[in-house]
Structure 1
Amino acid sequence: MFNNNASSTVTDDRKEDILLGLGIGFNKRPGDEINKDKIEKIYYVQDNIQTNFLDLLNNVSSEVIDASQKIISLILGNEGEFNKKGILSLIEHISFEIDRTEKNIYLHNLMFSDV
């Protein structure tokens, strides 16, 4: 379990995946069953991104993960497209920006006017 809304699981064929959903990890311990009705997203881990994603989930707050999910939902809700590997980048960007802000480090965004 990473937090209340994210959990790492191992499938029957011994592959690891990440489950996201509201309250999916609440009061859960390793080995507990996951309520399938709470699963909103499943990310199947396939390569080195696995290690990065798992490390990232262990080091960011549930609020960052929730915000990332909401942003993706808004993109998809407006008939946009989103590369599933992009969630890793989005979580990293939000997390890094929060970290810099907490340290009073402000970087000028050279693409601000384009964005």
Structure 2
Amino acid sequence: MLVVNRVYNNNTVLVDIGKKDQAIIQGKGVGFQKRHGDDVSPKQVERIFYLNTDEAKERFGTLLKDVPIDITMTSFAIIEMAKKDFNYPVLDYIYVTLTDHIAQTYKHIMSGKYQKSAAPDIADKYPVEYEIADKAVEMLNHDLNVRFPKDAAQPIALHFINAHGTETSEDKEKMDQADFGNNVNKIVQSVFSEYGITRNITNQNYFDRLMIHLQYLVARIQTDEQDKRILNQNIESDFQKLYPKSYKISNEICNKIETGLNITLNDNELVYFVIHVQRLIQEK
């Protein structure tokens, strides 16, 4: 028996199954004129996602704070499609990372600010992930009634590449690593917010380059392979004199990453951040 717990819209409902379990169901008109406590016929259900663990409920609730229900459900459906149609195992954190990515892309498309990803194309090496991503774009365009461009598949494929695996103790560590990457991005964005730095038409290419740099930075930290090249010792001091604001912002980012994530960055990372920030703010 499916009992309405909450109606999100005419086509999406949170239902109670038994005394403990819950699920999100979708179907044409499944929530129409429904109220808490009403029964729902299983015949109306076209798509169902079980929230049978505390972790699943927390994940879904967290996403709904920032992401519309239709986008969340389509993202979940894409992940289930990869599991079912391609027998592709993924770590649970992809439900959060992919959904957030799709929501941001959707926002950029609707506002006319979409830009092609600057990430490298590695389809030859990961054909299955790119095939999943191509089908994902088709699902997004169908479910959300919007036109995701074909090249939007590329970053989606990267999400599947990064999240490939099964839930073992080793994969739990990978999940922690994914959270680590998200935390690095949040720290950078929080500092940028303090200084009013945002992505715009003037700096969009430099901003995207910084995002790619952060991906590689996270990978280097996780594999303990930080850049060991020896830079001229005068570079840091010269940058501090030439670009005091960029240096201040970059130093704050590095300090917060180190203290917030309990790691140590080498001096090169500060220099690289200064270069990226200086390009972003065009400090003379």
Q: In structure 2, what is the equivalent of residue 79 of structure 1?
A: 86
Q: Deviation string for 1:53-85 (max 9, x for gaps)?
A: 1353464153x2564366346535643325484
Q: 1:88 to 1:22 in 2, by over 3 A?
A: farther
Distance in 2 separating the partners of 1:35 and 1:52: 26
Report which stretch shifted further, 25-34 or 100-109.
100-109
- Give the gaps of 5 or more residues in structure 2: 1-6, 123-153, 155-284
**Length-normalised TM-score, structure 2:** 0.32
Q: 1:28 to 1:94 in 2, by over 3 A?
A: same
Q: 1:1-115 maps to which residues of 2 (within 5 A)?
A: 1-15=7-21, 17-23=22-28, 24-39=30-45, 40-57=47-64, 59-62=67-70, 64-65=71-72, 67-68=74-75, 71-72=78-79, 74-76=81-83, 78-81=85-88, 83=90, 85=92, 86-103=94-111, 105-106=113-114, 109-114=117-122, 115=154
Q: In structure 1, what is the equivalent of residue 166 of structure 2?
A: none
Query: Number of matched residues?
Result: 113
Cα deviation for residue 95 of structure 1 reads 1.2
Identity percentage of aligned residues:
19
Q: 1:5 to 1:74 in 2, by over 3 A?
A: same
Report which stretch shifted further, 50-59 or 2-11.
50-59
Cα deviation for residue 33 of structure 1 reads 0.9
Distance in 2 separating the partners of 1:68 and 1:5: 16
Contact 2:17 2:23 in 1 (8 A): no
RCO greater where, 1 or 2, for CA within 8 Å and sep 6 or more? 1
Cα deviation for residue 52 of structure 1 reads 3.8
More helix by share: 2
**Corresponding letter in the other structure for 1:11:** I
Cα deviation for residue 36 of structure 1 reads 1.3
Q: Deviation string for 1:69-106 (max 9, x for gaps)?
A: 66346535643325484444433221121223445555
Cα deviation for residue 27 of structure 1 reads 2.6
Higher-Rg structure is: 2
Q: In structure 1, what is the equivalent of residue 230 of structure 2?
A: none
